[in-house]
Structures are given as C-alpha cells and as structure tokens.
Structure 1
Amino acid sequence: MNGIKPLPINKSTHNQYGQAMTEFVVSVGFIFLVLFIVVPTFGKILDIKFTNQQAARYVAWERTVWLQDMNAWGGNANTGDFDISSNEFESVAIRSNSALSNSVSNRFFNGQGQAVIKPISSSDADGASGDVSSLWTYTQSKQSMFQSVEVMDTEEQDTPAISYDVLRVLETGLKTITGPINTLLGAVGADNDDLMMLDYNFQGYYSPTVRTSLNTGNAKGGGNGKWDRNDGDWGGGIEDAIFQNWDGRFTANSAILADGWNAQSVGYYQDRADNFVPSTVFDNDLFDVVKTAASLLEGGPDNSAIYKLDFGEMGVEPMPGEDGAPLDVTCDDGHCYYDE
C-alpha cells in the first residue's frame, strides 16, 4: 500500500451528529411554542389590558355628561338648585352607578370585537348582553379569556385643591353676612336663599377604577395545571403558567373634574345668575309699596319713571329668532322688547 495507512474512524464524531440533531429538534420545539402559543396569548392579554384602560377613561368622561342619581346617594349641596321636570331642556341628565357599569360592559366588552359593529343605544345601560370578543380566547383550549369587569370608586368626591378650600372659607363668611339679610327679605316676600353665594360645586371630582378579570381556569385547557404532561407529551395547560404569580386582573384608574354644567338644567343656570344679580331681592310687595309712594312725587304711577322699574328673574334663554335671524327690537320709554 506504498506505506499509506488508513485514517482511524472517530466514533465520537458520529455521536456528536446525533446530539446536534436532538438539540435542533428541542430548540425548534421551543421556538414554535413561542410563535404559536405564547406570542398570541400575550397579544390577546395586552388587548384586554388596553380595553380596560379605555373603559376607565370612559367612566370618568361619562360623569361630565351624566350626573349621579341624586335620589340614590343624597346629592350634594347644589341639589336644591336643580330643576328636574319632564319639560324639554329643564331636566337633568342622571345615570346611576349601576347603569354606568352596564354601559361600560356593553360598549367595551360584551358584543364588541365582532365583524358587525355594535351600535350604541340607551339600552346599553340596562344590563350587560352579548358575547365577548371571539378573539379573546386561549390558544390551546379555545375557551374565553374574559371573566368579568368591575367599576369601582365612582362616588363624587371633594375636589383636592387649595383654591377650593379657600372658596369654602369664603362661602362660609358670605353665609354669615347674608344670613340675617335673607331672613329680613324673606319676611317681606323676597325669596333668594342663595343671595351672593358662590354656588360652586366643591365636589365634582371623580376617580373611578375599572378592574377586568381573566378566566384563569380556562387556561388549563382541561388539564391539571401548568405544563400539564400526559405520557410524556405536552398537555393542555401550557398557557396557565402565566398565572402562577399573577391573579389575572387588570386595574386602571382615571380621574376627572366635572362640574357638570352641561348636564344641569336651565333652571340651574337661572339660579346661578340670580345669586349675583340681586334683582329678585326687590321683587316683593314691600318694594312695590315704596315705588308707589315715590311715584307720588312725580305725579302718580302713570307719570312716574320710578314706578316703571321692573324687577324679576334674569333671563338665560337664547336670543329669540325666526328662520335663523334675530327678531326685531322695539323700544318704548326705555324698555326694549323683541317683536314676537
């Protein structure tokens, strides 16, 4: 063989080939586990978390257009100024906490996420209805991830600000001064208990909390628990490993200062204007007697300018008009009127 010796066969090389193949299969298995199970699951969880945050913002915003049910919780200091009736533009927009909670469920969780967009209606406040998003399901069990949503801490609170504390002190001082005056005016027929009162809503602060809970039991997929194994194969409980150190709840807080002017009645605007324009103070029988007596110095009521002084409530109605143009104005002896 011309002195050439064959190379010895290295058995360890063949063993390494088998080991590398095993490592490759295991590595690919874990990669596919992440791609097909873990990533979709986390994506769905993050979507529910985002929805929970949006729901918390919605609850806070709703209190700028719906006041709380005053009959249910006693109302605040301004309750007596609200004019609640069946007349158009004279009613107060009220929604209870339970109705608001139902609205959150219907507009963010129940009946949402489907191919057909669920329209918003007044029935949303009646009770939660409809299936939750079909996207919110566990990858393995195909069961729903969503369990429930809670709306908490919805009560109106005192506004946490130094300026409001100053206003409270100022209002207390004004009440001390105007109290005896209102008593005397009431004796002669005047009626304005809130004369010169600031009439601010010192509350109007809301900081609601929305908590969404996941159904952690459905993550087991019918198995016994995390990484459930059956005869050496992966079972149905891979996703529930996420909840070993987490209770599956999302909590989102929001806050808003809502005086609620846009939700209050025309009567309330009327009352606020009347507090600072003391015209109603002189709208009583005693002042009518004084006007009549003073008119005698000018030749009697028919010839007296003093007698023609007229006091009453401040008008807060929009400028009257017709076909989009304001009505003409006619003036007579210093009094001007719209031609209606």
Structure 2
Amino acid sequence: MQSPVNKQAGQALVESVVGLTYVVIPLLIILPFMAKIGGVQHKAQQASHYSAWERTVWKERRPSKLPRRSGLYLAQKSEQDTAKQIPWRFYQNDGNKLTSRNSSQWDWNKSVHPILRHQTQQNQSADTLLKSNQQTPANTNVLDRFTRSHSGGRLPGAVGSAVGRAVGLLSFTGFSLERDQFYRTSISSNIQNLYLAPFDNLNLNISSNSALLASGWNAAGPYHVKNRVKRLVLTNYMDVSVIRTAQSLLGIIPFGKELRPSRLKLGYVDPDILPTNRLCTYGTTNCGG
C-alpha cells in the first residue's frame, strides 16, 4: 500500500533563504574587498618596478671618472627621494598631473585612489586599506603606509663573474665601471583587517619584488665619456712630446703631411662625433626625402 505524498510547502523559500544567507550575501561582501586587495597587489608591483627602473636614469651616487668641471649635469637621486614619489605616481586619485615637485600636501585619507579604500569597520565610512607603519597614523607622511627595501650589488651567476673579470683585466689602464648596479627593490604594505569574522584576523601583507641591471656605463655628458674611454685607446700612450716632435719632423717631408700632430692625433677621443649621414638635413635628397 502506497503512503500518500505530503506537500512540502515553503521548501524552495527555505533553500533560497539559506543560499542567500550563507553564500550570496557573504560573496557580495567579500568579493569587493578581495578585488581591492588585487588592486593593492597591482599597485605594489608597479611601485617595485618603478623603483628599479629609476636607477637606469638616476644615479644613487657620483660615478667613477667624473670630471671636476663646470657645465656637467649628474642625474642623482637618493633612495628616499625615489620612494617619496611612489604615492604620487601610483596611489593617488586619477586625473592629477605627475610632477617631480609637488606643491600640495599628501593625505592618506583624501589623496588615495578609490580602489585603495574600503569599509573595514562596521558603521563607518570607507577607509584606506593600507595600514600605517606606526601606532598613530601619520596621514601627511608619504612613507607612512608602505615599506621599501633597495639594494645594489654585483650581477649574480656566471655572467656577473665574466663581466667582473673583463673589467678587472682592463683595470691596469685606469678604466673602471660601477659593478654594483644589479638593483633589487621590494615594496610591502600591511592591509587593514575586515570587521567580519573570520576576516578580522587575516593580517595580510602585500609585497612585490623587482630586480634590474642598470648599466654602469651611463655617463654624465661627453666629458665624462672621454674620461672613461681615453685610457682604452692604445695610441693614447703614444701622445707624448717625443712622438709629437717626430711627427712634426716627418711632416716636413711632402708625403708626410698627414703625419703632423694636427692631422694625426694620437689618442684622440671625440664622444660627440656623428656619422656623415646623421649630419644631413632630414627631408632632403638622400636624407629621408
């Protein structure tokens, strides 16, 4: 004998309530938070790459063989000055002009991009996700919400050893290059905990590392180039008074005019000289026209 089927009134409603309570609503709360964590990670990656790439343009200290004369410009910037540019370049609101000299005051509560702000406390407005490095936040300190490390060392591995030996072999000429130009940078930030359990004890730390070999050859103008390469020109060691006198005597002979010191300049270095095809007026015949 078959038992009668009982109608389960309200079953779909109960399932919907359970699904909304334990799945949908938590996801609606957590997904925006996790998306902004991804934004923080992306900003950290950009900042670490920037810190490393800046060393291809700005030197940290005076390079070797830099001549002491007027008219030279050395692009030099300390690690701290580079770090102070990070919030303005990567954490601030959209639509602001980037400049190396900021006239306005930075504020971690007002200046940061919306992707770096979220409601982390119940019944409060959105706050900056990046946690302060101090017990009492210093919102006007551009270095308050992230930490950074920066180090320059020798290129690791077989390539670094080969370069070191090559430069070492040339050291007897007085030639030298900076060999500590393999820069490692790291940007790290602590994230505010969310007020909902179990996310109130996450204590997340977002970090990004970058490494770059910034060529030690970068020179501060043509005079610096000349100082560095002149000793590598072997005929430079023949540029002495005895040989110049011999050149002058040989220049008296009709077929020896090209040997005169004014014509045959031993050890002569001109870092600004250009190929003939680069000296033409662009757009004319045989010059891009």
Normalised to the residue count of structure 1, the TM-score between the two structures is: 0.62
Does residue 165 (structure 1) correspond to residue 161 (structure 2)? The answer is yes
Paired letter, 1:251: S
Determine the structure 2 residue equivalent to 1:67: 59
Q: Distance in 2 between matches of 1:126 and 1:269?
A: 39
Q: Distance in 2 between matches of 1:22 and 1:122?
A: 60
Determine the structure 1 residue equivalent to 2:237: 281
Q: Distance in 2 between matches of 1:207 and 1:106?
A: 22
Counterpart selection for 2:32 from 40, 47, 55: 40
Determine the structure 1 residue equivalent to 2:135: none
Determine the structure 1 residue equivalent to 2:284: none
Determine the structure 2 residue equivalent to 1:222: none
User: What percent identity do the matched residue pairs reach?
Assistant: 20
Paired letter, 1:242: F
Q: CA deviation at 1:268?
A: 2.9
Determine the structure 2 residue equivalent to 1:103: 85
Does residue 315 (structure 1) correspond to residue 267 (structure 2)? The answer is no
Paired letter, 2:101: S
Is the radius of gyration larger for structure 1 or structure 2? 1
Q: Any idea what SS the aligned residue of 1:94 has?
A: coil
CA offsets per residue over residues 44-74 of structure 1, 9 Å max, x none? 111111111121111111111111134xxxx
Q: CA deviation at 1:156?
A: 1.3
Q: Distance in 2 between matches of 1:213 and 1:84?
A: 45
Where in structure 2 are the equivalents of 1:89-168 lying within 5 Å?
Answer: 90-109=72-91, 111-112=92-93, 114=94, 117-123=95-101, 131-139=111-119, 140=122, 141=124, 142-147=126-131, 148-152=145-149, 154-168=150-164
Question: CA 1:81/1:126 → structure 2, altered by over 3 Å: closer, same or farther?
Answer: farther
Contact 2:64 2:178 in 1 (8 A): no
Count of residues in Structure 1 that have an aligned counterpart in Structure 2: 256
Q: CA deviation at 1:37?
A: 1.0
Q: Distance in 2 between matches of 1:155 and 1:84?
A: 28
Q: Distance in 2 between matches of 1:267 and 1:55?
A: 34
Q: Distance in 2 between matches of 1:174 and 1:260?
A: 15
Paired letter, 1:95: K
Q: CA deviation at 1:127?
A: 8.4
Where in structure 2 are the equivalents of 1:26-37 lying within 5 Å?
Answer: 26-37=18-29
CA offsets per residue over residues 172-222 of structure 1, 9 Å max, x none? 4454xx4xxxxxxxxxxxxxx52xx4x444222111111122233xx3xxx
Q: Distance in 2 between matches of 1:248 and 1:36?
A: 20
Contact 1:82 1:265 in 2 (8 A): no
Counterpart selection for 2:189 from 200, 212, 224: 212
Q: CA deviation at 1:150?
A: 1.8
Determine the structure 1 residue equivalent to 2:198: 241
Question: CA 1:263/1:118 → structure 2, altered by over 3 Å: closer, same or farther?
Answer: farther
What RMSD, in angstroms, separates the aligned Cα atoms of the two structures?
3.7
Q: CA deviation at 1:272?
A: 3.4
Question: CA 1:258/1:128 → structure 2, altered by over 3 Å: closer, same or farther?
Answer: farther
Q: Distance in 1 between matches of 2:69 and 2:47?
A: 31
Q: Any idea what SS the aligned residue of 1:59 has?
A: helix
**Unaligned stretches of 5+ in structure 1?**
1-7, 71-78, 179-192, 220-236, 327-340
Contact 1:102 1:124 in 2 (8 A): no
Contact 1:270 1:314 in 2 (8 A): yes
**Unaligned stretches of 5+ in structure 2?**
132-144, 282-289
Paired letter, 1:211: S
CA offsets per residue over residues 100-146 of structure 1, 9 Å max, x none? 1011121011x23x4xx121111259985561113333245322212
Paired letter, 2:31: V
Question: CA 1:163/1:38 → structure 2, altered by over 3 Å: closer, same or farther?
Answer: closer
Contact 1:83 1:266 in 2 (8 A): no
Q: CA deviation at 1:80?
A: 2.5
Q: CA deviation at 1:96?
A: 0.7
Contact 1:270 1:315 in 2 (8 A): yes
